Structure 1
Amino acid sequence: MGSRGSHAARIPDADGLRRETGFSQASLLRLYHRFQALDRNEKGYLSRMDLQQIGALAVNPLGDRIIESFFPDGRMRVDFPGFVRVLAHFRPADDEDDGSRDPKAPEPLNSRMNKLRFAFQLYDLDGDGKISRLEMLQVLRLMVGVQVTEEQLESIADRTVQEADEDGDGAVSFLEFAKSLEKMNIEQKMSIRILK
């Protein structure tokens, strides 16, 4: 298989990544191979163009927004640890919280709150901590395309913001967003089988 071996020892900080993301050693190894396959020029990082090779993102209406999440703060590349950290948000939540988790430890990346934070930032296009009516409308346009009229989209955006906006400021804060989704099984909806 060329110069790319399959040894777990080649994964940068595998133990730390396992603890931080909850992925098993085998899952990390499969993700590492996927990362290497996307990194066709063996640069050691991925660009936006590399991630656009992922078919599921290419057909996802929010694919560009998801790809953006790999590049916080305007960075131009993502290394393997950054790649895995973003994917960890989509890891199915552990079925049981047996109470053994250290309360001082950071919340798992695949927790309900972290999944909600990730989803919120997909809508918060300007990163100001609020989802405005215009941002809601822009995301709705991405999601439904030409299947709905502009008038219908505006009505949906207005109603969505109005229903979630508890403080009457015309926008949806993260707390309002989380509250509006409290009955939704976000753990299930934001879980994908990343690995076969």
Structure 2
Amino acid sequence: MGTVCSSQISKITNLDEIIAETGFSKGHVSRLYDRFASLDKDEKGFLSKSDFQNIGGLAVNPLGERIINAFFPDGNEAVDFRTFVRILAIFRPIENEKNKDPSAPESVNSRSNKLKFAFQLYDQDNDGKITKKELLQVLRMMVGVQVTEEQLENITERTIQEADLDGDNAISFKEYAMSLEKVNIEHKMSIRFLK
């Protein structure tokens, strides 16, 4: 137990760079490679959106399609292993940031990067703002028919009013981050990866 199959590791290009960039251990990267390979049924070396759509948990998640799209930045059609791991690293728990060297680059799984990932789930047109329309779409997906349209519109309006500090009827990333200042993002956006 705890040993990593050397044949798996040998298939991973730039392993040391991936470990340094993501903070994952060699064992984590090996297991993520196994997951990547199981999704890559055609053994193409990359994943398409349809490969992600075969993941049961994403298929039933109301935000599943938006989460899948987050793996395809800049309209890319395919995700290689390194990109796959880098995006999953956003969900790695944050280490103790108190002792961190202030001149060190921001880690992939920093609070700011976790917030940026969540922000892009709302900001579908990538204009740097969450509009009432975009917020309403997400709320509709998340609550379905459990809440009336009028209630959803009231929630949306109130949320925009509370977060919108510059009065443009939208929420910028800065406003979004400020509105979540007291929220424990570490807890809400971290996945405990097995060692």
Structure 1 stretches lacking a partner, 5+ long: none
- SS of 2:46's partner is coil
Sequence identity of aligned pairs in percent? 63
- Give a deviation string over 1:132-190, Cα, whole Å, max 9, x none: 11110011111111111111111111111110001111000001000000000011101
Give the structure 1 partner of residue 3 of structure 2: none
> Where does 1:136-147 land on structure 2 (aligned, <5 Å)?
136-147=135-146
- Offset of residue 57 of structure 1: 1.3
Deviation sequence 1:37-96 (CA, Å, 0-9, x none): 0000100000001011222211211111110011111111000001011111111111x2
Contact conserved, 1:89 with 1:109, CA < 8 A, in 2?
Answer: yes
| Residue pairs, 1:122-161, within 5 angstroms | 122-161=121-160
1:63 is matched by which residue type in structure 2?
G
Deviation of residue 105 (structure 1)?
Answer: 3.5
Q: Give the secondary structure class of the aligned counterpart of 2:38.
A: helix
Question: In structure 2, what is the equivalent of residue 63 of structure 1?
Answer: 64
Q: How many residues align?
A: 191
Contact 1:48–1:77 under 8 Å retained in 2: yes
State yes or no: 1:117 paired with 2:123: no
Task: Report the Cα distance in structure 1 between the residues aligned to 2:70 and 2:193, rounded to whole angstroms.
Answer: 17
**Aligned position for 1:188:** 187
| Residue 102 (structure 1) shift | 4.5
| 1:74 alignment counterpart | 75
Check conservation: 1:6, 1:29, Cα contact below 8 A. no
Return closer, same or farther for 1:194/1:61 CA change in 2, 3 Å cut-off.
farther
Q: TM-score normalised to the size of structure 2?
A: 0.93
Unpaired runs of 5+ in structure 2? 1-5
1:97: how far off? Answer: 2.9
Q: Which residue number in structure 2 is paired with residue 20 of structure 1?
A: 21
The RMSD of aligned alpha carbons is 1.6
The answer to whether the 8 A contact 1:121-1:127 is kept is: yes
List structure 1 runs of 4+ shifted beyond 6 angstroms: none
Aligned with 1:7: secondary structure?
helix
| Shift, 1:98, TM fit | 5.5
